Structures are given as C-alpha cells and as structure tokens.
Chains A and B, each alone.
Chain A
Amino acid sequence: MQELLLIAVGAAFVNNVVLSQFLGICPFLGVSKNVKTAAGMGGAVVFVITIASFVTGLIYKFILGNPKILGGELQYLNTIVFILVIAALVQFVEMFLKKVMPPLYNALGVYLPLITTNCAVLGVALTNVQNGYYEKGVGIGLLTGVVNGFATAAGFFVAIVLMAGIREKIEHNNVPEAFKGTPIVLVTAGLMAIAFCGFSGLI
C-alpha cells in the first residue's frame, strides 16, 4: 500500500510527465488556452492513460512477457503492439462513450482522437514494463501499472490546468513583441518546472 502511494506521488509530482519528463508537450502547449478546454483535455488523458495502462498491462503479462510463449521472447514486439493497441483502444473508447455515456462523450469527445499520438500514453505503457512492475504477481503487477498510469495522467491534468489558468492571466499582460505566443508559454512552463523541482525532496 505504502509502495503504491510512493509510486503515485512520484509519478504525479516528483517526475511530472510534462514538466520533468517532457512527454505530451504538444497538447500542453496547444490546448492550454483556457481552463475549460484544458480540463477537458486533461480529463480525456486521465481516462485514456488509465485504461491503456490496464490493457497494455494485460497484454504484456499474458502474451508478450509470458514465459510460456516462446520463453517470453516476444518482448521485442512491445513498441509495435502497444502503439497499435493504444490507437485501436482510443477508437473503441470513443465509440463506446458515444453510445453508452453521451454526457461524458460530449465533454471529452473532441479530445479523444488527439490523444492517440500523445507520447505520454505510449510512454507510460513502456515505463510500466521498464520499471518491472509486471514482474510481481498478476494482480499486484497490474494494479501498480494502473496506479502509475493514473498518477502520471493526474500529473498531466494538474500541469495543463495550472498552465491554462496562468495563460488566461498572461493575456492581459504586456509581453514583449517577440515573446508573444509560444515563447512566453515556454518561459511560464520553465518557471513551473522550477516550482515542481521543489517536490523532488518528497520521496
């Protein structure tokens, strides 16, 4: 339990996916113009990453990394299988939500397809394998993977919503001509990264 908590805090704050790992920079810069859309994007990322880390975990545990199938040699297919599974999964999630939960679909719908090539999703799936979370038993291994995925995505949510809040304020500021647009956002992100460095003493 304590270990799970440490993994969660580590993934969400200490090694924040955007501000210290640089994954998912594109949506972080592109969809952070106002808090509402940023929260929508963040919510969709939390949703997709959590499901994707569970599904890729299952696939890794029972097929790719299964010692009974070719002695676990199939691991070299990790990248190929994971990216395809994630791409397909996003499509399925979209269809499923449209049919079953229209309110949620209306809130997240536009953002879902954008997530396929968000490198954070593939990044989490691969980190889960590299960190050896699945070496443990089936149940605890999958749970650790999902917790790590959820926490990473929560870190993304926090970062993008904070960024959107700050950007709304920046709109009213007097920014030098050359720094308008992306540059001032990057400077803001740098300052946020410094702030997040403060979490590094937590673990």
Chain B
Amino acid sequence: MNKCAERLYNGLVKENPTFVLMLGMCPTLAVTTSAINGIGMGLSTTAVLVMSNMLISMLRKVIPASVRMPAFIVVVASFVTIVDFLMAGFVPGLYKSLGLYIPLIVVNCIILGRAESYASKNPVLPSIFDGIGMGLGFTVGLTAIGIVRELLGAGEVFGIRVMPQSYEPLTIFVLAPGAFFVLACLVALQNKVKANLEKKGKKVPVSSGCGEGCSACASKGICGGHLAENEPHHEETNVKEEEEA
C-alpha cells in the first residue's frame, strides 16, 4: 500500500485518536456541545498538527535528542499562536465559543505524541500525511460526539432542527455532565467491540491516554513515563500488524 494513503487510513480508522487511542480528552469533552464546535476544534487542531509535523520532520536531523521536547513545544506553541490569531481574525464567532481551548491545543497529547512517535523519525511527506490523517480522525471523532450531544441536548444538528416539535430537549447533554455520559457510553461501546474482536482472535490496537498508562502519551518524554510499567511501542506494534496483514 502507498505510504501516504496508509498514513491517512491509519489516522482515520486504525488508530483514530478519539475512538481508538482515546487521546486529547480535554477538548473532546469540553468543546463538543455542538457539531459545529467539534468541526472547528478538530480542523484547527489538524492545521496545527500538519504544520508542526512538517516542521519537526524537516528539523529532525538538526534537533539534538536531549532538548527535543522543549524544541517540539516551541514549534507547536508557535503554530498554535498563529492559528489562534487567524481564528480570532476570520471566524470570531467560533473563536469565542471555543475560547480558552484554542491556546490549550499546545498541551494536546495528540500533537506532541505524533511529533515524538512519528514526525521526529520519518521523512517530510509521510509526516504531513500522518498529520492530516490523525487530524481528520480527531475531527471526525469530535464532530460525531458533537452531533450526538447537540441532537439529544437541543434536538438540532448543525443548528438545524431535526427532531419533531414534540421532542423535549434533554438540556443536560449540552451541559458539563452530558459530556461525561456520552463519552462513557462511547468507551463502553469501544470495550464491547474490542471484546468481540478478541473473541474472533483479531489483534486490537492498544488504547492509550493517561487512563491506560503512558504508552502513547506526549508527556512521556518529559515525565519519563513514571506510571508506565510495560509500554508497548507504537510504531513496532504497527509494523507487526502490517506484516500480518
């Protein structure tokens, strides 16, 4: 399979950051009050991810290993600042509803995680496509959660009324507790699917995020993965799966 297409498929389906890896939970819970917010957050994260992957991949032979984390953070923070100002200028409405979470893209696990585990070891073009794939995967995840919450909580999708007039909106789904409930159901569904797959003897990608240990966490480089006892390395598991396929 073509390397770039494989990267897109990997980000969108096989290692989808929201549904499979459970990365970047803070924005996932916070901004998905409506579908449009989900798309906005997803696309701005994608933009940052693609740019930072590209630059980090270009600089991968220049940055010394010992200072790579601060270097990555500076690169990511610069792009986040650019995106922050562009959004404030061109889409002020969306910018206002996403608020604090735009500058907080800096500390999103997905971005530093991809920089550390992919872009710093691979050539520029696959890194760009890795960024696009992961970013779009994240966008799809956020939008899907946003649609569910908006549908249940306001009876609308993308601001258009779809539920019948007699439907009484469950306002709690657009409030803070609803975010937790929707995500809980999502993870439960994921557990169910995984259990079924394992029963059939198929290999299941490792879920990560701090809830599951440090394996794919961005801060691993900084924190040294204190909580991780045995961490499966991501790219290695990838390679194995490809060989089997």
On whether the beta carbons of B100 and A193 are closer than 8 Å, the reply is no
Say yes or no for B178: interface residue by CB 8 A criterion.
Answer: yes
The reply to whether the CB of B239 lies closer than 8 angstroms to some CB of chain A is no
Whether A19 touches B222, Cβ cut-off 8 Å, given contacts A25-B25, A76-B81, is no
A67 within 8 A of B: no
CB distance from A106 to the nearest CB of B (A): 14
CB-CB under 8 A from A119, the residues of chain B are 26, 104, 107
A79 touches B81 (CB 8 A): yes
Contacts of B25 in A (CB 8 A): 25-26, 29
Chain A residues near B175 (CB, 8 Å)?
A: 197
Q: Which of B139-158 contact A (CB under 8 A)?
A: none
State the CA gap A190–B84 with chains docked (Å): 30
Which one of B179, B185, B211, B223 lies within 8 Å of A114 (CB-CB)?
Answer: B223
CA distance A130 to B103 in the complex (A): 12
Given A22-B26, A110-B226, A183-B184 in contact, is the A191-B191 Cβ separation under 8 Å? no
Interface of A is mostly: helix
Residue B195 CB within 8 A of the other chain = yes
Cα(A170)–Cα(B194), bound, Å = 23
- B22 contact set on A, CB distance < 8 A: 182
Instruction: Determine if B26 and A183 form an interchain contact, defined as CB atoms under 8 angstroms apart.
Output: no
The answer to whether A24 and B26 touch (CB under 8 A), given A116-B219, A191-B177, is yes
Q: How many residues of B contact A (CB 8 A)?
A: 52
* Min C-beta distance of A198 to chain B, whole Å: 12
The answer to whether A31 and B107 touch across the interface, beta carbons within 8 angstroms, is no
Partner of A19, one of B176, B181, B184: B176
In the complex, the answer to whether B184 meets A190 with C-beta atoms within 8 Å is yes
Contact A187 B222 (CB under 8 A): no
A178 touches B177 (CB 8 A): no
Complex Cα–Cα for A77 and B85 (A) = 11
Q: Which single residue of chain A is at the shortest CB-CB distance from B106? A: A83
Give chain B residues whose Cβ lies under 8 Å from the Cβ of A24: 26
Pairs across A and B, CB under 8 Å, 27 listed: A21-B30, A22-B26, A22-B176, A23-B30, A26-B210, A79-B103, A83-B107, A84-B74, A84-B77, A87-B70, A113-B222, A117-B107, A117-B223, A119-B26, A119-B104, A119-B107, A122-B106, A123-B100, A123-B104, A126-B100, A177-B195, A183-B184, A183-B191, A190-B178, A193-B176, A197-B175, A197-B176
> Which residues of A come within 8 Å of B, CB atoms?
19-27, 29-31, 76-80, 83-84, 87, 110, 113-114, 116-119, 122-123, 126-127, 130, 176-187, 189-191, 193-194, 197
